[in-house]
Amino acid sequence: MVKIRLARRGRKKLSLFDVVVADARAPRDGKFIEKIGTYNPGTVPATIELAEDRAFHWLMVGAQPSDTVRAMLSYKGIMFKRHLQIGVNKGALTQEAADAKLAEWLKVKQDKIQAKTANVGKAKLDAAKARKEAESKVREARAEAIRKKQEVAAAEPTEAPAAEPQA
CA atoms within 13 A on the CB side of 86: 11
Mean pLDDT in residue range 139-163: 79
Q: Is the pLDDT of residue 159 over 60?
A: no
What is the structure's pLDDT at 151? 86
Q: Is the pLDDT of residue 87 over 80?
A: yes
**What is the reported pTM?**
0.70
CA atoms within 13 A on the CB side of 132: 6
Band (pLDDT 50/70/90 cuts) for residue 164 is low
What is the structure's pLDDT at 118? 85
Which residues 6+ apart lie within 8 Å of 49 measured at CB?
37, 38, 39
What is the structure's pLDDT at 43? 87
User: CA-CA distance, 5 to 24, in Å (whole number)?
Assistant: 9
Q: What is the mean pLDDT of the chain?
A: 90
- What would the CATH number be for the domain defined by 2-93? 3.30.1320.10
**DSSP of 23-50, one letter per residue?**
ETTS-TTS--SEEEEEEETTSSSPEEEE
Question: What is the tens place of the pLDDT at every residue in 32-77?
Answer: 999 999 999 998 778 999 999 999 999 999 999 999 999 999 999 9
Contact 37, 47 (CB under 8 A): no
Question: What is the tens place of the pLDDT at every residue in 93-108?
Answer: 999 999 999 999 999 9
Question: What is the tens place of the pLDDT at every residue in 108-146?
Answer: 999 998 888 888 888 888 888 999 999 999 999 999 999
Domain boundaries, the chain: 2-93
Q: Is the pLDDT of residue 161 over 70?
A: no
User: CA-CA distance, 61 to 63, in Å (whole number)?
Assistant: 6
